[in-house]
Structure formats: structure tokens, C-alpha cells
Chain A
């Protein structure tokens, strides 16, 4: 990660140099400036993906079990929701896919990747839609994401096991989704305020 970080800093500083020294060649200047900005966003996105992967790993290491199986806090969504708000839906999607793919291969197994994928895509879609309405705060969006993540996973679980009785778990998963979503939403709202916005420009 440190390599990526220094790479990003180098890209940014070279862009600044280009802007200050050859102001005469404006066409080349804007092209290099926009490519530097793209590089910067790419760097930020890959840092976010690495961060999300670390959160996934922490949750894999320390599963919070309170008697009910399969309940997690969803720390990775902290990263995803900030990426969605500050960058773009496409960036958030890419970060999420990278995280799910890597954590599936590294920690939880390819089969569990299917569930993560279902939950991750459902919740990201719901988050993007709710955000577009403009009526919800980050906390509300995250709450809906928690519930829809569980719903998406449950649908896939019911399909895999070919047994609609899986939905017995749904009430528990609704409550845990609300609780985890609100918790993550509060954290995300606080963090989003503190994160320097230059990171995303």
C-alpha cells in the first residue's frame, strides 16, 4: 500500500510541475493534468479497495457471534459508502468487486464469494438508488444497505439450497441489518466529514 501511496503522490506532484513550467503548451498541459487526475482517482480507488479488503479480513478473523449465525457488522461497507458518495457509482462498484473477488480467493472461499457478491451488489444498488432520491442521509442509506445486503444473501442461499424455508432467518436478519447499517452509517457520516476532499478530486 505504501508503494501505491507514493506513486499517487508522485503523480500529483508531476502534474503540478507540468502546470507551472510549461503553461505555454496548453493542449499538452490539460491532457497531462486530466490524466494525472485520473491516475489520482485510480490510486485513491485502489487504496480504498485495499482498505475494504483489510476490513473484510478483520471481520473474517474476528467474527462477532452473538448466538445467531452469520451476522456481521459489515465494516467493508464503510469504505464502499464513502466511495459512493465522494467518487462515483462506478468507482464504488469496482472497489466492491475487487474486494469481494480478492477476499473470496484469499479468505472465505469461492463458494462464499457468491453470497458476498449477492449481498454486495444488492446493497450497492439500493444505496445508489436511495442516494439519488436525495431524501436520505448517509445513515438511512446505510441502514437500507444493511437490510438489503442480508436480503440479497438470503435469496441466493435459498436458491442454492433450493429451500424457501431459509426465509425463516429473515426477521433476525432484518433487525441485524438495521442495527449494523445504522452503526456503519453513523461511522461513515462522521468519517466522511473528516476525510480530506482533495483525495477525490
Chain B
């Protein structure tokens, strides 16, 4: 750091990294941080409060409903679309993606879901699984 030639701002180059960082944080940064934090907390509160035990799993492929399956029945659903394949498993009232032909496997690693407002999405294959309370479609559109 001492080897640096001064470039117009001689006193900043003498600060240690820690002092430099503390000095460089501005008021607007902190305000923005608080706003974003509040936004996150508010959104989290909305999605957590609106959650309850679901009754059925809705599988969508490419945005269109592929099928509704009650959570009370254990079963395995295989969705094939061309060379793409997704296997959805319902067991003990919880839904998980047992396997998928996608490359990133994010959906397979997702933890099992059982409450409304939860969903598992396989973006590469355009398959989504969401949990719904029985027959109440109107309750879903909180976020849209």
C-alpha cells in the first residue's frame, strides 16, 4: 500500500483498508439498506402469515395445469415432455421432486413442501408444483 503513487487523493492512500471502508460508507447507503431490509421483512411476513396446511398439489407444465393431486394419497407422478422428465413424489402429505432431467437439480434439492404458498419450480423444464388449499382458487392471487 505504501508503494502506491498518490493520484490526486493523497490522504485516502494512507488509510488502512478498514478505515477506508468505514469512511466510504455514506448516509444514503444506510438508508437504502434499511429500506431493503424492511421490504424483505414485510414480504417475508406476508408470505409466512398467508401460509396454512394445504390440501392438494397442483402441477403445472409450461404454465398450464397438468393435474391436481390430493396430498392425502401417497403417489409418484412422472411428467414427460419430449426428452425432459420430472418425477414428483407425494408422501405423508409432503411433496418433493424425486428426480428431474434438468442440469442444475435445484428442484430436486428443494426441501419437501406441504403448506400453501410453497412451491417447487424446475425452471429448465418449466415444471412447477404448488400447494393449494382445497378448491379455493381465489386465495392464491395475493402476490400478483
Contacts and interface: CB of A to CB of B under 8 A. Distances in A.
A136 B130 contact: no
Interface residues of B, number: 47
B111 interface: yes
Interface string B1-37: 1001001000011000100110011111100110011
A139 B24 contact: yes
Interface string A150-167: 000000010011111111
A157 to B, nearest CB: 6
A189 interface: yes
A193 B20 contact: yes
The contact size tier of chain A is 35 or more
A25 interface: no
B144 A160 contact: no
Contacts of B41: 171
Contacts, number: 118
Contact of A143 (B21, B33, B63, B119): B33
Contact of B29 (A108, A111, A140, A174): A140
A134 B9 CA distance: 18
Contacts of A162: 60, 62-63
Name the prevailing secondary structure of the B interface residues.
mixed
Contacts of B75: none
Interface in A180-201: 182, 186, 189-190, 193-194, 197
B44 A171 contact: yes
Name the prevailing secondary structure of the A interface residues.
helix
A144 interface: yes
A120 B39 CA distance: 22
A160 B126 contact: yes
Contacts of A136: 26, 28-29, 32
Contact of A193 (B12, B27, B111, B128): B12
Contact of B143 (A133, A144, A164): A164
Contacts of B62: 161-162
A20 B140 CA distance: 73
Nearest to B62: A162
Interface in B100-138: 103-104, 106-107, 109-111, 117-119, 121, 123-124, 126, 128, 130
A175 B117 contact: no
A83 B60 CA distance: 41
A7 interface: no
Nearest to B1: A194
Contacts of A147: 36
B17 A111 contact: no
A144 B32 contact: yes
Interface stretch (A33-41, A47-55, A62-70): A62-70
Given A166-B119, A168-B47, A171-B43, 5 more contacts: A139-B24, A161-B63, A162-B63, A165-B117, A168-B143
